[in-house]
């Protein structure tokens, strides 16, 4: 049951990434300085409203876009940015320094947003590490999609989730080089800032070279999280789900994570207090029984492969005060040993040799320097991976963007990892194995829709009746165990317009809810097709309904 429900949730989330299905209205933006800023800022009517609710800003393949300040889209419409169709190089987005020599982050997004097939740099046109939080997402309850992008160089975290109840979907994306040399405590891929978040999904993506946490939750609640087929390499810190309610980490490949190791305190009393080991996946007690008990939380860690290169292993062994990390420590292991909903199985340690990765020696040199200087952070060597070099555009116009000989994270087919994921597929980002990815996509669809020999899922969402309807319809759903439930209605732009059940704990059995065709403000919505979505545990199910007046 847990296998099929996880697969179902994964596919539904993929469908959510693909939403909305709208008649997109493209605005082609020429490359150059400030062209993207001006296109977004000027795309309004005389009254300040968006010219088109379905606007997509389309960038030239191989084009260079220098930003004059952060892109902000605060007028309420969804922000959509993507590359033109074709197989050419990704459009390159670069922050430009002002007269004082400083540059702003690339995006400060106050609305829902989708970015597809673009390269974004945190190095400005002068060759300086100019920005942190290149994607600072600001909308409470906002929905953000990053698909097929390459995010490179950040001084703190690539995605900073700055408000509550956001949904973040990252797919087919590379994030690399998140580090601030003067303060390596910064340097993350995703940071929730301790805000309660609705959903974080990362799938078929590769994250490499950061100096701190791969995911930092700041001890904030994450209702739904899934890392599936993710390659993590040279991440200086863990995936943190301290207050995760429904978490799945599966089919992931984690090599040379926590490469500084677990540093034992020199003081014996402190060492006793810090008796837990450094772990790759972190959680803690929720301590919020009014929301959910630890026993009710769902936490699945399965079919993952983790390991360390010989160079990093030698570093761990060469310093007495350094311990080799573990998948999860004794505190977290107790949860898996105690609660039925906490499942850890089929996780193995194997060093997988990538075909062309950044060398382990760079991070080992960095870690050795940090230990030898007692973590003073003075004159830290630079471990970043960038074959183009980090220089000003005037010195080398090809220094920004993916290199022609980019790093490659495929690996030998004789590795145990190659068939260790669910369905016998390679663990890690399947984009490094295009043929296998195509097979996996077909397998996922079959696994969901051929359920004849599987147990029923933990809930079932019926088709609304009547359908089509005017003005009221009924939605029935069934729960096989007590669950926290949300039932919401979305328009075809993917915008939530009505919450029918809001994070309510409901008992086993059949439940019915009526929708009167009004939004959360009490306004009657227009005729058309709407999506209704039931979320409970780590499962999501959606259906369509039609309002006809």
Query: Which tens digit of pLDDT belongs to each residue from 235-244?
Result: 999 999 999 9
**CB 194 within 8 Å of CB 217:** yes
| Model pLDDT, residue 326 | 93
Q: Is 171 domain-assigned?
A: yes
Give the Cα separation of 158 and 121 in Å (integer): 10
Same domain as 489, residue 444: no
For residue 15, tell me if it sits in a domain. Answer: no
* The pLDDT value given to residue 456: 39
| Mean pLDDT of the 350-372 span | 95
Would you say 475 and 532 are in contact if contact means Cβ atoms under 8 Å apart? yes
Q: What pLDDT, on a 0 to 100 scale, did the predictor assign at position 265?
A: 44
The CATH number of whichever domain residue 468 belongs to comes to 2.60.40.4070
Average pLDDT estimate for 70-96: 91
What pLDDT, on a 0 to 100 scale, did the predictor assign at position 23? 62
Asked, for residue 28, whether it belongs to a domain, the answer is yes
2 located within any domain? no
pLDDT at 313: 96
Query: CA nearest 279: which of 211, 222, 338, 331?
Result: 331
Q: Say whether both 171 and 299 belong to one domain.
A: yes
pLDDT of residue 246 exceeding 70, the answer is: yes
Predicted pLDDT at 471:
87
Looking at the predicted structure, is the pLDDT value of residue 277 above 80? no
- At 349, phi and psi to the nearest 5? -100, 125
Burial 387-418 (b: 16+ CB within 10 A, else e): ebebebbeeeeebbbbeeeebebbbeeebebb
| Residue 464 reports pLDDT greater than 50 | yes
Q: What is the DSSP letter of 368?
A: H
Q: Residue 10: what pLDDT?
A: 52
Q: What is the DSSP letter of 413?
A: T
Domain total in the chain: 2
- Please check whether residues 499 and 406 belong to one and the same domain: no
Confirm if 342 and 335 have CB atoms less than 8 A apart: yes
Residue 515, pLDDT above cutoff 60: yes
Tell me which of 388, 418, 449 is where a domain ends. Answer: 449
Least confident range of 16-25, 188-197, 357-366, 408-417: 16-25
For residue 154, what are the contacts with CB-CB under 8 A and spacing of at least 6?
A: 122, 131, 132, 133, 134, 177, 178, 187
By C-alpha distance, which of 349, 363, 353 is closest to 307?
349
> Rounded to whole angstroms, how far apart are CA atoms 185 and 324?
19
Residue 493 is predicted with a pLDDT of 80
Three-class SS of residue 108?
strand
Tell how strand 539-547 and strand 528-536 pair up: antiparallel
Let me know whether 372 and 501 are in one domain: no
**pLDDT tens-place string over residues 84-110:** 999 899 999 999 999 888 999 999 999
CATH number at residue 445: 2.160.20
**74 and 148 together in one domain:** yes
My answer on whether 420 and 341 are in the same domain is yes
Are 537 and 443 part of one and the same domain?
Answer: no
Residue 88 CA, chain-centre distance (Å), reads 25
pLDDT value for 271: 40
The pLDDT score that the predictor gives to residue 182 is: 92
β-bridge mates for residue 510, sequence order: 478
What are the pLDDT digits (tens) for 179-211?
999 999 999 999 999 999 988 999 999 999 999
* pLDDT over 60 (residue 336): yes
The reply to whether 454 falls in a domain is no
533 and 445 housed in the same domain? no
Q: Which of 418, 449, 480 is at the close of a domain?
A: 449
Residue-level pLDDT at 458: 57
Kindly state whether residue 3 falls inside one of the protein's structural domains.
no
Judgement on whether residues 364 and 387 belong to the same structural domain of the protein: yes
Question: Which residue, of 449, 479, 501, is where some domain finishes?
Answer: 449
Check residue 14 and give its pLDDT: 52
- The reply to whether 4 falls in a domain is no
* DSSP code of residue 62: T
Stretch 372-383: mean pLDDT, rounded? 93
One domain, residues 490 and 433: no
For residue 385, is pLDDT > 60? yes
Judge if pTM exceeds 0.75.
yes
Asked whether residue 8 is domain-assigned, the answer is: no
Looking at per-residue pLDDT, the higher value among 270 and 154 belongs to 154
- CA dist 213 to 238, 274, 293, 496, Å? 5, 19, 26, 31
Judged against a pLDDT cut of 70, whether residue 20 lies above it is answered with no
Same domain, 352 and 467: no
**Residue 274 pLDDT > 50:** no
414 and 511 co-located in one domain:
no
Range of the domain at 371: 22-43+53-449
β partners of residue 108: 136
Mean pLDDT of the chain: 88
The pLDDT value given to residue 455: 37
Q: Does residue 32 carry a pLDDT above 90? A: yes
On the question of pLDDT at 266 being above 50, the answer is no
């Amino acid at each position: 049951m847990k296998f099929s429900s996880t697969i179902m949730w994964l596919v539904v989330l993929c469908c959510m990434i693909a939403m909305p299905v709208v008649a997109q209205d493209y605005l082609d933006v020429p490359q150059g300085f400030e062209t993207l800023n001006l296109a977004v800022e000027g795309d309004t009517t005389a009254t300040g409203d968006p010219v088109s609710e379905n606007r997509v800003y389309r960038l030239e393949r191989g084009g260079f876009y220098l930003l004059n300040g952060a892109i902000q889209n605060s007028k309420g419409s969804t922000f959509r940015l993507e590359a033109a169709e074709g197989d050419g190089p990704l459009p390159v987005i670069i922050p430009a320094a002002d007269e004082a020599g400083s540059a702003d982050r690339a995006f400060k997004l106050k609305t829902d947003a989708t970015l597809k097939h673009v390269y974004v740099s945190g190095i400005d046109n002068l060759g300086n590490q100019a920005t942190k939080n290149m994607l600072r997402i600001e909308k409470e309850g906002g929905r953000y999609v990053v698909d097929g992008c390459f995010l490179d160089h950040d001084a703190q975290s690539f995605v900073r989730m700055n408000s509550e109840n956001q949904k973040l979907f990252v797919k087919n994306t590379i994030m690399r080089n998140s580090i601030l040399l003067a303060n390596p405590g910064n340097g993350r891929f995703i940071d929730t800032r301790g805000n309660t978040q609705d959903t974080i999904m990362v799938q078929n993506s590769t994250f490499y070279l950061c100096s701190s946490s791969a995911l930092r939750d700041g001890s904030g609640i994450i209702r739904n999280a899934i890392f599936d087929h993710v390659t993590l390499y040279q991440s200086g810190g863990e995936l943190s789900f301290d207050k995760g309610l429904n978490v799945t980490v599966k089919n992931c490949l984690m090599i040379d994570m926590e490469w500084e190791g677990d540093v034992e305190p020199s003081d014996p009393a402190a060492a006793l207090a810090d008796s837990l080991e450094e772990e790759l996946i972190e959680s803690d007690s929720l301590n919020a029984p009014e929301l959910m008990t630890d026993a009710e939380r769902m936490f699945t860690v399965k079919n993952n492969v983790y390991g360390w290169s010989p160079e990093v292993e030698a570093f761990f062994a060469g310093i007495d005060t350094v311990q080799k990390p573990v998948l999860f420590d004794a505190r977290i292991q107790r949860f898996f040993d105690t609660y039925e909903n906490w499942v850890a199985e089929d996780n193995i340690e194997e060093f997988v040799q990538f075909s062309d990765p950044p060398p382990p020696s760079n991070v080992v040199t960095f870690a050795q320097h940090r230990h030898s200087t007692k973590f003073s952070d003075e004159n830290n060597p630079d471990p970043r991976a960038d074959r183009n070099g980090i220089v000003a555009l005037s010195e080398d116009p090809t220094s920004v963007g993916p290199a022609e000989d980019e790093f490659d994270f495929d690996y030998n087919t004789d590795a145990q990892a190659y068939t260790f994921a669910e369905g016998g597929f390679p663990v890690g980002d399947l984009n490094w194995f295009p043929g296998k990815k195509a097979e996996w996509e077909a397998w996922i669809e079959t696994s969901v829709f051929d359920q004849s020999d599987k147990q029923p899922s933990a809930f079932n969402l019926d088709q609304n009746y009547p359908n089509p309807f005017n003005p009221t319809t009924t939605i029935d759903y069934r729960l096989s165990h007590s669950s926290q439930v949300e039932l919401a209605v979305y328009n075809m732009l993917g915008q939530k317009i009505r919450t029918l059940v809001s994070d309510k704990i409901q008992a086993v059995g059949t439940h019915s809810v009526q929708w009167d065709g009004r939004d959360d403000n009490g306004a009657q919505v227009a005729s058309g097709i709407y999506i209704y979505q039931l979320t409970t545990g780590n499962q999501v199910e959606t259906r369509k309904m039609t309002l006809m007046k």
